[in-house]
Structure 1
């Protein structure tokens, strides 16, 4: 029976961290720290549970199911086609990868441009060409990812973050301010909801294909061993993520930002300037560039492997090139436009993904675990999430007084009750029509 040695386990855990830790993982905890203020530790705890915790559970659910495709097939054939496709498109060329490329430009190059070029679309266009050429070069050889991530990108990124943290500890930064209204009453639940923005839980679902290929190349076939390794990878990754989030949230809470910061990039720019002066812009640019490169490489790799499985006539390398091209085009829409569409999309996908992960984790423990249970549970969760999004975007909150009667709706978890009702209804239906 083939096994991984400790060095390989550590490097793969580092690789997973780099594949999840992108520019969004920098800006969102920084903004959380700035707005949570005195309630920072409760808020960042919720953030870590939503981000690293759900990602770990997603890996275990995939391992127990065999593959992500096997898990979604338990719901419905149409769902099994559309949900993975939606995730791959959103977390790939439609949202996450372009966001990383655009953020890398905003923080890595734009601060150093002369004022005449700052507002130029040409500078972003040229930058994205270079950025995605580098991403393609790394992603075209997925078998070498473990060495490239584990030996180069991850250690470099962690060293930079550690340097910033040590400097912050020996510098007299501002005291934590009073928590803003959204973090004053429910800091943990608000931090949990903020963790959606990193997209790591749904990213973990699609990264399963990468680890399936690693296990196949190492000829590790035993499911219990795969679950063990994925848990270890997830724990290593989760600890690294938690370490970074505590540091970044602390920096955000300690930053003296003039006026009101609209996003975490402004918060980080302010605190790095306070710590290192003009050199802080260079350090921040390096951190954002490394993080953006890492997550983009991981996502291009996963998406290219998925699409080459669905449409095998187009090779993996060609899919990687196509995805880099499309991501570069979308990145040129600009960061603000990309971030604007992310909130409603993630508000729909995340509750469905969480429900699917929970069902996958307890599949063998449930008395009723056939298709009706999965299908009706996911249907109820999805419909409620769709109603919430429609209410906030199209109806200007006209349904909010009615939705307020749903338990936990005020904390952002109103979908839990519909999910439980769907599970109960599916179980009753299964017991009545499938028990024999």
Structure 2
């Protein structure tokens, strides 16, 4: 029976960590920290729930079902499971996450040198996605290319940035602003959505499982064990990175007063900590961080769509990369504006499916419990999505003033009530 060596397990954990850490993960914590001020660690607690806890739990859940979202969501019914799976793959693939890796890496790392014109973004994204395609065409070598080469470079750059955040602080902590004054935990929780790591974990599961299989491991228990180890290693890494980035942003008012986004804070900090070399260091770190995530997403999406269609994996790589290339040239602002409402709708049912997957054996028929709970979570998630899209004027006042509505968690209490009722009904029926 083939098993992984210790160095392979560590490389697998590093690869999983590297797949998660994209530019969005590096940008959001500093701006959250600056705005949360003296409530920074309360906001960080909420952020870590959705940005670390849920992704780690998701990988663990997927390791029990061979990395398949469709099996994980099967209690929803065949049609609903297929729809949820396709939406998740498209959201973290060619529609939002993959194009975002190109636009964010360009705007943070290279726009200062090449300008903000559409032509330079077009040239950069063409080169960027050519590299993504080149690596993604050989998924059986992803542990070698990402786990042993790109991941260590990414981790080294993050380590330098993280240590400097503690050794070279920027200033005093400012008072909290906006929603962080009264509800820092829930505000951090919602900002964790924007990393898209939970949805990313749903599609990265199959990449991690295939990486384990590529080393000749076929035993299901061993595959599950190694995937759990990989998720724990990546969770520890994510937590350390986020803590250091929160520390970096805490005193950033003196170098980036009232920054509109985390990219401005990062630019100001690397100039403060590293001088002229800082801009080059940040550009290299963001580029590696983004391209690793883009490779993982492309491999995962191409592998899934090959399974449900008769189109070969390599053709899907060309299709997905080409589509992401086109979308990336629309610009970062438009991508974020569209993605926030959609994520607000997708996350609630996805969270329900992930968490309840660990309790299948306690239900007589899992569909009786999971399907209605996820449906209610989706319904109220759509209400949050309309609010995020500034369409709340079309909603009755009763729906905009629900418990936890201000925290964008209006789905939580109704989903919990339906879960309890459905569980009771499941126990009564044969």
TM-score (norm 2): 0.94
Residue of structure 1 equivalent to 2:422: 426
Residue of structure 1 equivalent to 2:83: 82
Q: Secondary structure at the match of 2:18?
A: helix
Q: Confirm or deny that 1:387 pairs with 2:383.
A: yes
**Structure 1 residues 33 and 62: alpha-carbon distance in aligned structure 2, compared to 1, 3 A threshold:** same
User: For 1:245 and 1:172, how far apart are their aligned partners in 2?
Assistant: 16
Matches within 5 A, 1:70-219: 70-113=71-114, 118-171=115-168, 173-219=170-216
Tell me how far 1:189 sits from its aligned partner.
2.1
Say if 1:64 and 1:360, in contact at 8 Å, map to a contact too: no
**Structure 1 residues 134 and 23: alpha-carbon distance in aligned structure 2, compared to 1, 3 A threshold:** same
Residue of structure 1 equivalent to 2:373: 377
* Stretches (4+) displaced over 4 A: 397-401
Residue of structure 2 equivalent to 1:27: 27
User: For 2:240 and 2:11, how far apart are their aligned partners in 1?
Assistant: 17
Q: Secondary structure at the match of 2:407?
A: coil
CA deviations over 1:75-94 (Å, ceiling 9, x no partner): 11111111111111110010
1:333 to 323, 330, 334: 330
User: For 1:420 and 1:45, how far apart are their aligned partners in 2?
Assistant: 22
Matches within 5 A, 1:298-313: 298-312=296-310
Deviates more, 1:220-229 or 1:188-197: 220-229
User: For 1:65 and 1:169, how far apart are their aligned partners in 2?
Assistant: 41
User: For 2:404 and 2:224, how far apart are their aligned partners in 1?
Assistant: 33
**Structure 1 residues 120 and 236: alpha-carbon distance in aligned structure 2, compared to 1, 3 A threshold:** same
Deviates more, 1:378-387 or 1:271-280: 271-280
User: For 2:267 and 2:175, how far apart are their aligned partners in 1?
Assistant: 21
How big is the alpha-carbon RMSD for the aligned residues of Structure 1 and Structure 2?
A: 2.0
Tell me how far 1:429 sits from its aligned partner.
4.5
Give unpaired runs (5+ residues) of structure 1. none
User: For 2:385 and 2:189, how far apart are their aligned partners in 1?
Assistant: 18
Tell me how far 1:345 sits from its aligned partner.
0.8
Q: Confirm or deny that 1:283 pairs with 2:281.
A: yes
Tell me how far 1:406 sits from its aligned partner.
3.6
User: For 2:133 and 2:126, how far apart are their aligned partners in 1?
Assistant: 11
User: For 2:416 and 2:164, how far apart are their aligned partners in 1?
Assistant: 48
Tell me how far 1:97 sits from its aligned partner.
0.6
TM-score (norm 1): 0.93
Give unpaired runs (5+ residues) of structure 2. none
Q: What is the total number of aligned residue pairs between the two structures?
A: 428
User: For 1:203 and 1:403, how far apart are their aligned partners in 2?
Assistant: 30
User: For 1:51 and 1:43, how far apart are their aligned partners in 2?
Assistant: 12
Residue of structure 2 equivalent to 1:356: 353
Say if 2:349 and 2:374, in contact at 8 Å, map to a contact too: yes
Q: Secondary structure at the match of 2:404?
A: coil
